[in-house]
Every structure is written in structure tokens, then in C-alpha cells.
């Protein structure tokens, strides 16, 4: 689920131009990448903490905030629960409405907030791709603030969302000190081998998290790659255009194949209900794999029935290959 364009040429050049720096320690404060992020996200560098991917930061939050009881909305990214379980904590769940394409059960969610110590949200959600609206988010933040509960909003895929400025939680930071936003450069810059995750939060919390964080976790090449990628505006614009064009192409073609029902999603992937194909998920995944096509078996997602796969939006040639393989299998 990374950028189908792969790393930009400017990112590759930044890495090669800075190979000489690997004989020196990296900047522990990630000063240059934080400055670039500040411009990109329109927040102060003092509101930013950079880590070795968002997974490191999820575990850091669970430890530093001493989260012993978290609330999550399955189906969701598994690391939220794992981070809490690692500390001997427990997780409560408010499941998204599968009958209504995994819509947000807002009333049930707000009712459950006081019972937990923290809430994890994913926007757009992984694996469904659904978005939480700005209005829904405000209701959630108001409720959580009333009960003094932190709200952790994972926006790892937000950079792929059309009109993302209408959905990101970042404009709420000044008014809600209980809001914590997770942001990722791993996906949008296609650098999972380097890894870059970011926490955006109140300065007081950032300072506390920085003191608790493992030192030297973000290497020099990740830092220069992230800065170069953020400054490559042409690459980012090409990414938005490609992902949205190819996602529309995939949805239109998938809807014509027998038994497939792709769900509408705002990210760079699609969740597909294969119930009516006559195939089980593992059988279909195996058949696609034999043709050199890898898709995500979603049977291990809590909150999902055992009839979904997830596909990444790729470039046209790869998307055509996926469609051709599905056509051959499904007839």
C-alpha cells in the first residue's frame, strides 16, 4: 500500500548524495525534516516528533501515556491493540457497521469513550478506506475532551485523499490538547525500507514523548529522503493524479467482474467483498499468487467477515494484470 510511483528521483539523489554521512551519527532531533514537515503540515516544528515509522510511535504513546484500556474501531490496524496488550492492558471495541459499508457508529462510539483511557482512530481507515468527516471528528473530540481522554488519529494514508484539507484533524490541534495525530511518510514517499513516522501533538506532550523515545531511532538517510520528498511538489501532485485516476479505473472494471464488490474508499487501496464469487478468500489469494499477483488476505482482521481481500492501487500496467488474472479465474 505504498506510492505506486516508487521513490522520487529527488529522494534517490538525496540518499546517494548523503551516503558519506553514514559514518556520522544522525541528528537526534531530526531538525531539517521537522522544518520541512512544519511547512508541509502547517504546524510548528515544536509540535512534531519524528520516529522510525508510526509503529514505533504507537508503542511509544501506549507506554508514555500508560494506556491500560484502549478503545478501537475494528476492522483496524492491528498495532493499536498490540501496543496496549504488550503493556498488559485491554482493548474495548466498537465495530464499524459492515451492513452499511463500515460506516461510523457515532452514537455508540461516543457512549463508549468514558469507559476507556484512550481512543485510536484511523482516518482514512485501514483496511476499509472510509473517512471520518470533520463534523464527526469534532463530536468525538468534544466528548473525549469532556472526559479528559486522548484521541489518537492515525492519518498514515491521508496524503492520498482528494481534498485532504477537508478531513485531516490537524486544524483542531490548537483547540484540543487531547488530540494526537499520527502521520507517515513511509507510504506517500514509497520508502518502507527507511521508515518515517511522525507524531503531531501539543508541545508539552511532544516534549514528554521525546524524553521517553529511544534515541537515534531515525537514521540519516531516512531524514534526508523525507526532506527531499516533501520538497518534491511535482512528484506529490503526480501521485495524487495517478492514484485517483487508477482507483477510478479499477473500480469501474472490478464492478464488471462476476461476484466482486469493491467498497468505496478514499485511500490508495480498495477493500473488495468476494462473497458472491464462489471462492473462499484463501483460495482466491492462492490462485492470484500463482499468477504473480499478491493481494491482502483480510481474514485475520477483527471486525471483518471472512469474505474480503484488499488490493493496492498501482500503475495501469499492473492494474491491468490484476484485472486480467481475476477475469481468468472468475470467468
Same domain for 176 and 286, yes or no, is no
> In terms of DSSP H, where are the helices of the chain?
9-17, 31-41, 54-64, 79-86, 106-112, 134-146, 203-212, 220-231, 233-254, 281-290, 316-330
- Pairwise CA distance, residues 9 & 3, whole Å: 13
Q: How many domains are there within the chain?
A: 2
- Which residues are CB-neighbours of 98 under 8 A, at least 6 positions away? 303, 304, 305
Domain that holds residue 28: 9-231
Contact indicator for 132, 167 with CB cutoff of 8 Å: yes
**Cis bond leading into 75, ω under 30°?**
yes
Same domain for 13 and 34, yes or no, is yes
With respect to residue 58, please indicate whether it lies within any of the assigned structural domains: yes
The CATH code of the domain that includes 307 is 3.90.1150.10
How many other β-carbons are positioned within 10 Å of the β-carbon of residue 21? 15
Is the backbone of residue 280 left (phi > 0), alpha (psi -120 to 50) or beta? beta
With respect to residue 4, please indicate whether it lies within any of the assigned structural domains: no
Same domain for 227 and 241, yes or no, is no
| pLDDT tens-digit profile, the chain (331 residues) | 899 999 999 999 999 999 999 999 999 999 999 999 999 999 999 999 999 999 999 999 999 999 999 999 999 999 999 999 999 999 999 999 888 899 999 999 999 999 999 999 999 999 999 999 999 999 999 999 999 999 999 999 999 998 999 999 999 999 999 999 999 999 999 999 999 999 999 999 999 999 999 999 999 999 999 999 999 999 999 999 999 999 999 999 999 999 999 998 999 999 999 999 999 999 999 999 999 999 999 999 988 888 999 999 999 999 999 999 999 999 8
Pairing state of beta strands 179-184 and 197-200? antiparallel
Same domain for 190 and 326, yes or no, is no
With respect to residue 3, please indicate whether it lies within any of the assigned structural domains: no
- Domain boundary at 178, 212, 231, which? 231
pTM here? Answer: 0.96
Q: Length of the chain, please?
A: 331
Same domain for 203 and 301, yes or no, is no
Is the backbone of residue 165 left (phi > 0), alpha (psi -120 to 50) or beta? alpha
With respect to residue 2, please indicate whether it lies within any of the assigned structural domains: no
With respect to residue 53, please indicate whether it lies within any of the assigned structural domains: yes
- Supply 145's cell numbers: 475532551
With respect to residue 219, please indicate whether it lies within any of the assigned structural domains: yes
With respect to residue 257, please indicate whether it lies within any of the assigned structural domains: yes
Amino acid at each position: 500500500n505504498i506510492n505506486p510511483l516508487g521513490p522520487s528521483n529527488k529522494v534517490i539523489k538525496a540518499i546517494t548524495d548523503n551516503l558519506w554521512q553514514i559514518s556520522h551519527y544522525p541528528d537526534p532531533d531530526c531538525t531539517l525534516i521537522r522544518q520541512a514537515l512544519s511547512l508541509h503540515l502547517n504546524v510548528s516544528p515544536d509540535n512534531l516528533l519524528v520516529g522510525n515509522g508510526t509503529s514505533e510511535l504507537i508503542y511509544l504513546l501506549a507506554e508514555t501515556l500508560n494506556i491500560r484500556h484502549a478503545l478501537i474501531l475494528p476492522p483496524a490496524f492491528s498495532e493499536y491493540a498490540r501496543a496496549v496488550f504488550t503493556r498488559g492492558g485491554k482493548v474495548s471495541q466498537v465495530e464499524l457497521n459492515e451492513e452499511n459499508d463500515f460506516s461510523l457508529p457515532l452514537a455508540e462510539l461516543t457512549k463508549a469513550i468514558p469507559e476507556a483511557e484512550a481512543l485510536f482512530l484511523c482516518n482514512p481507515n485501514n483496511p476499509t478506506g472510509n473517512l471520518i468527516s470533520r463534523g464527526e471528528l469534532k463530536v468525538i473530540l468534544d466528548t473525549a475532551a469532556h472526559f479528559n481522554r486522548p484521541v489518537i488519529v492515525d492519518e498514515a494514508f491521508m496524503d492520498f485523499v482528494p481534498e485532504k484539507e477537508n478531513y485531516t484533524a490537524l486544524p483542531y490541534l490548537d483547540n484540543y490538547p487531547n488530540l494526537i495525530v499520527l502521520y507517515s511518510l513511509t507510504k506517500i514517499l514509497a520508502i518502507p525500507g527507511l521508515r518515517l513516522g511522525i507524531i503531531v501533538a501539543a508541545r508539552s506532550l511532544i516534549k514528554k514523548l521525546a524524553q521517553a523515545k529511544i534515541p537515534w531511532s531515525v537514521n540519516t538517510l531516512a531524514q534526508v529522503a523525507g526532506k527531499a520528498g516533501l520538497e518534491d511538489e511535482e512528484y506529490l501532485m503526480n501521485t495524487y493524479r495517478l492514484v485517483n485516476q487508477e482507483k477510478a479505473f479499477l473500480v469501474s472494471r472490478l464492478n464488471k467482474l462476476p461476484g466482486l464488490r469493491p467498497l468505496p474508499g478514499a485511500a490508495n487501496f480498495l477493500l473488495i467483498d468476494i462473497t458472491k464469487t464462489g471462492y473462499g478468500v484463501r483460495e482466491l489469494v492462492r490462485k492470484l499468487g500463482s499468477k504473480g499477483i499478491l493481494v491482502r488476505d483480510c481474514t485475520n482482521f477483527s471486525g471483518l467477515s471472512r469474505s474480503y481481500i484488499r488490493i493496492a492501487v498501482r500503475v495501469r500496467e499492473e492494474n491491468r494484470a490484476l484485472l486480467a488474472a481475476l477475469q481468468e479465474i472468475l470467468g
